């Protein structure tokens, strides 16, 4: 009895790729915000320490998500 080899399924693999990229972008945005917020909180009383702004960060990740949707 011979075993059948599983054939690659490009459609399934492509869907998996897109889902994993979406998760990665989302998780990275959350983690970056958390890291920056933690840093800013730690140094909020130290006026010599630079503060890091996250005001445009969300829009940049939105652009990245849109790019991935359009090109991946």
pLDDT reported for residue 6: 74
CA distance 19 to 35: 24
Domain boundaries, the chain: 25-36+54-72
CA 5 and chain centroid, separation: 34
> Is residue 25 within 8 Å of 61, Cβ to Cβ?
yes
pLDDT reported for residue 3: 67
> Is residue 20 within 8 Å of 67, Cβ to Cβ?
no
pLDDT reported for residue 2: 63
Kindly give the parts of the chain with pLDDT less than 70. 1-3, 5
CA distance 38 to 58: 17
């Amino acid at each position: 009895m011979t075993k059948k080899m599983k054939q690659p399924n490009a459609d399934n693999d492509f869907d998996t790729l897109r889902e994993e990229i979406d998760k990665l972008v989302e998780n990275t945005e959350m983690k970056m915000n958390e890291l920056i917020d933690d840093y800013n909180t730690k140094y909020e009383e130290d006026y010599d320490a630079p503060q890091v702004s996250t005001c445009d960060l969300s829009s940049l990740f939105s652009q990245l998500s849109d790019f991935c949707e359009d090109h991946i």
